[in-house]
Each structure stands twice: as C-alpha cells, then as structure tokens.
Amino acid sequence: MKSFNRFTSLILLSVLLLGGGTLHACAKPKTPDWVLNRVSDDNYYIGIGYAPKVKKSKAHYDLAAQNALNDLASEISVTISASNLMITIEDDKQLKDDFTSIIKARAQKDIEGYEKVASYEDRKGCWVYYRLSKAQYAATQARKRRLAVETAKTFYVAAQEAERKMDYKTAIIDYAKSLDAVKAYLNEQILVTIDSVEINLTQVAYRRSYDLLNSLQLKSVRNQVTCKMGESIPESDLVCFLRTSSGEPMANFPVMITYSERSIQNANKMTDAEGKAAFVLPTVRSKKTMETVTFALDINKLLVESAVDFTVRRWLVQIPAHKVTMTVLVMKPSILIEATEQNLSKTVSHLMLAPMFEHLFLNAGYSVVTNREEADYILKITTNTTARSQAKGLYSTALNGHIQLYRKDRVIYDRFLNNIAGTQLDYIKAGLSAYEEGARQIEIRYFREFEEAIIKQ
C-alpha cells in the first residue's frame, strides 16, 4: 500500500512539473520598452513603424518597415532660411512652397546606412525599429552637396564660355542647368572659386540669366495690320526680328506669338540666321474692331531643352523679357445681296427678306454693296410662296426657298426655307404674311448662322 501511494505521488509530481514547464514555455514574450515608450538618442535618428496584421498576408511586415523609415525621415528637420536667392521668389507663394518642398525632400529622401535594431509582433500587429547614425547621415549629405556643387560649377563655366561666343541660347540653358543642379540647396550659400574669384554661384547664375534675357531685343516689321473678319493674316505681316543689345542677329532662338482673341496653332518658331521668325494667323474670327498680336521670347521652350526641373523652369520663366505688341484692326467684310422673291409665282413689288438681311448686316458693322467687284461675299435669295388651303374665310400659304452665301464662288452656307406658314383673308395677303414670318426667323435665327459661317469658314 505504501508502495502504491509512493508511485501515485511520483506520477502527480511529474504531471505538475511537466505542466509547469509547458505554462512557462507558452507565456507571452514581454513587450519591449521601445514599443511602449518613444526612444531618443543623441547620436541616432530613430524610426519606429507599426502595421496591423492582415489575415492570409505578410504585407504588414513591409508596411511596418516603410512606416519606420517614414518615422525616421520625419526626425530629420531642415531649416529653410531666407537666403538672398529665396528672397527673389518671395512674392510667389506657390513657387516658394515648391522650392521649400524640394529642399526638405532633399534632406529626407535616399536615406542611406540605416540599420534595423529590432522587431516585435503580437497577435494584432508588428513593429519595426530602425536607426541612422547622425554623423553618417551628415557625411552622406555633405558628399551629395559637394557633387551637386561640382556639377553646378561645370555648367556655370560652360555657360560663361557660351556667353563669350555670343551663343546666348546655350548660355541660358547652361545657367539653368547650373541652378537646377543645386536647387535643393537654395537656402544655402553656394560659394565656389572660378578664375581665382570666389562667387555665390546661384546668385550669379540667376543674375546672368536675367541679364541675358533682358538684353535680347524683339522688333516687329509692322506696328499695325488691317484684316477683314474671316480672312487670315499672311506670314509677310507677322514677322519679328531678335537681336542682341549690340544689334547682332540671334539665330536659333525660340520665339512665340500670342493672339488676344484666342490661342492659335503653330505659335512657336525658331529664329533663322537673320534672327527672323514669321507666323501666320489663320482666319481672324473676332467681332471686335481691334485685337493684338504679341511677340515674345519662348523661355519655357528654351528651358525644356535643358531638361531642368519644372519648378526651376517656372521660376526662370518669370524673368521679364522683351515683348513687342502689334495692333490688328479688324474690318467687317462687304456683302452683295441678290434676291428673287416671288409670291404665288409672281415677283413681289417690295422685297421683304433681302431688306431684313441688309438691315442686320449694316447693324453688325458689315458694308452692303451693289457691285460684285466690291463684294467679299454674295448672298443669294430665291423664294416663292404656294397656296395650301382655304377654310372658313381664311387662306393659308407656305413659303419655301433657298438661301446661299458665297465666298469667291464657294458656298460657305446653304439654307433651305421649308413651309413657313402664312394665313390671311386671301392668298396674296397670306403669302405676304408668310414672308413676314420668314423675315422674323431670319432676324432671330438664320442671320446668326450666316455670321458664324463667315467667321468659321
């Protein structure tokens, strides 16, 4: 009996020991202090990222790592000081904000040399802990800045050489590339030594771009041109010349025109060997008596060739450059009206549709002529009324006809008048009533269509 009790006791003791061992193995790991409390270190930037777990996926591991890098980057602060160059863009808030973003992004992107310190996960999510040596980061940024300055200096020297050769286009492009190379450091002084002279590179490169663009002079061959609405302005009338301040022609430089009425195609040209650029303005459509054409340097197109950052281009495009404006006097064309108006197949004693057209054309500023040689357009009207019915002492007719507008023997507008009704006490008066209704429709509807045809031909 004693043996049995001793054996039972041994079994119970073994179970308790085994059970205790199992409970110890299954206990939750202790949550690290870096998860519970924000870590700080004078020698390191710290980044800790968390992501909730996703069933049947491991994406949360990558998300936690990315969040840790973002957190690490957020610790790297950059002071945007009001350098002399940044002051030049003070008035443009959007431009200043764009450059500020570039400068801050420079300090935070391409983080190199960080290390993973630890990771932790529980049933709900996971954490990742990164750190980056502040000394190592500073050295990396110094190396990048040094390379950027060397690149900027190379472009600056090339720009100076191009300027000496009077190749202003290449000079402006290279000055722009020089500024682009150090755009992330515009809050700092970029001091370099060139020909034994120390200069603030960004300030001087910007000033030389400014001076070169301001030194170029545009002149148009005409101050004013007259054109009829619906016609084009030929290349011979839209000519400008680009020259240096000393009068030398500036070849292969982009110029453009803007037209006050609307945007036009082929508005950008390169100057030829004589510094000349010529344009065509197809179809003046304006109903105004005056429009303008402005010739200007196409600075944006010039800088696109340099492949510099959009923000840098937008900044340099704001440099005031010479423009020249030409006045376009818009005249309304002349109209000849030829009308055959019949009522019940008999010529009417007094025309009704032709006078309405003449009234509307004159009111709109057109001239109405009687000589074909003087006419820019010919309006042909052929109409007739027919009897339709009679009932209870009232007679009804229908006006039908064809109205065409010609421009140099070419039909630009074609309109049929179909069954415009007229009702009166006899057929003749009913026919005249139909003409009255036809004249009303011309006034409220068809004349507008005719004018649009002249404008849009």
Is residue 6 scored above 80 in pLDDT? no
Mean pLDDT value across residues 288-312: 88
Looking at residue 173, its pLDDT comes to 94
The two tokens of residue 427 are 């057929």
| Pairwise CA distance, residues 38 & 46, whole Å | 9
State residue 186's pLDDT score.
79
**CA-wise closest residue to 424 among 452, 450, 401, 392:** 392
> Model confidence over 335-388: pLDDT tens digits?
999 999 999 999 999 999 999 999 999 999 999 999 999 999 999 999 999 999
334-456 under CATH 3.30.160.150, yes or no = yes
Query: With bands split at pLDDT 50, 70 and 90, how would you rate the model's confidence at 26?
Result: very low
- Taking only the tens place, the pLDDT of each residue in 70-79 is 888 888 866 5
Q: How far is CA 213 from CA 26, 128, 171, 174, in A?
A: 77, 53, 10, 13
Task: Retrieve residue 315's tokens.
Answer: 């900044």
Residue 55 reports pLDDT greater than 50: yes
Closest CA to 348 of 419, 422, 431: 431
Amino acid 10: pLDDT: 47
Q: Which residues contact 184 (CB under 8 A, 6 or more apart)?
A: 102, 103, 105, 106, 148
CATH no. for 216-303+316-331:
2.60.40.10
89, with CB counted inside 10 A (0-12, 13-18, 19+), is buried
Mean pLDDT of 143-156: 95
Q: Count Cβ atoms below 10 Å from residue 195 Cβ, excluding itself.
A: 7
| pLDDT mean over 44-66 | 92
* pLDDT tens profile 227-274: 999 889 999 999 999 999 889 999 999 999 999 999 988 999 999 999
pTM above 0.75, yes or no: no
Domain ranges in the chain?
216-303+316-331, 334-456
Distances (CA, A) of 178 to 43, 149, 151: 35, 9, 7
Query: Mean of the pLDDT values across residues 126-134?
Result: 94
> What's the CA gap between 193 and 292, in Å, rounded?
48
